Amino acid sequence: MKKIIPVLALFTLFYCKEESQKENKKSARKEISEAPETAVVKDIVFTEFKPESISGLKINGFDIEHAFSVEGNHIVTGNYKPIDGKMTLPDTENDWGNRLLMLNSKNEIIYKSKGIGDAYLYEPYFYKNNQNGNIIIVCQQAFEYFFGGDTFLLEKGKIKHIGNLDIEPKNEEKKLTDILKIKESDKKIIFTFDTDSLVLKPGNEDMIIRNNNVKYVYDHQSLKLYQ
């Protein structure tokens, strides 16, 4: 009888150890099966919107063409008026013509873009990322023909010039802002175009190309064309 007791104790110890190992394996399998999947980066689409227009706004020496109220500030386009046919400050020989201004609630100018010269049209269009509130402003440009869009990023009350979308649809009855699609993906802002054919450098080189996923990409450092 004395010999049987140690054997039973040894068997019990071995059985408990084996069961513990089984439980550990089950727990490990459970943890592996319940591990979260890698997050998939989703595209965030900028939606075009029309902000409230402003009438009666006056800026000393500035001829206002378009004025809108955007998140407590005023977005204005136009040009400084020449006096007796001569340009006056802040216009200079290298910085004159149509431009965009941003004014605060006190109508103080807090941003002034560089002038693009004497265009017939410099009309702002607005696109919003509804997740982070960022706004893209594209100023459609034209002489007798459309020639791309001057582009800005409005983020947390501050505005930055992104660059120029030097492109138009081949269809002359449409303009850039008629075919423009904007999205944000992986911290980049991507501009694509809903048309089969495009004109690069319109009014300058007029290069006609097929739209094989042509896009402009802004990485918050520079704006680049991919074709």
Q: Residues 35-63: pLDDT tens digits?
A: 445 455 579 999 999 999 999 999 999 99
Instruction: Determine whether 27 is exposed, middle or buried from the number of CB atoms within 10 Å of its CB (0-12, 13-18, 19+).
Output: exposed
Residue 53: both structure tokens together: 């227009």
Give the pLDDT confidence of 105-143 residue by residue, as tens digits. Answer: 999 999 999 999 989 999 999 999 999 999 999 999 999
Segment 154-158 mean pLDDT = 95
Q: 114 vs 5, 92, 178, 202, CA distance in Å?
A: 96, 10, 25, 20
Whether residue 100 contacts residue 77, with contact meaning beta carbons closer than 8 Å, is answered with yes
pLDDT at 40: 52
**Backbone φ/ψ region at 186: left (φ over 0), alpha (ψ -120 to 50), beta:** left
**Kind plus residue range of the DSSP H or E element containing 18:** helix 4-33
pLDDT at 16: 43
pTM of the predicted model as reported, rounded to 2 decimal places:
0.81
Which has the closest alpha carbon to 137: 119, 149, 121? 149
Residue 29: both structure tokens together: 């399998």
Tell me which DSSP letter residue 26 carries: H
- Pairing mode, if any, of strands 99-103 and 121-129? unpaired
| Position 77, amino acid | T
Of 213 and 19, the one with more pLDDT: 213
pLDDT at 11: 41
pLDDT at 85: 81
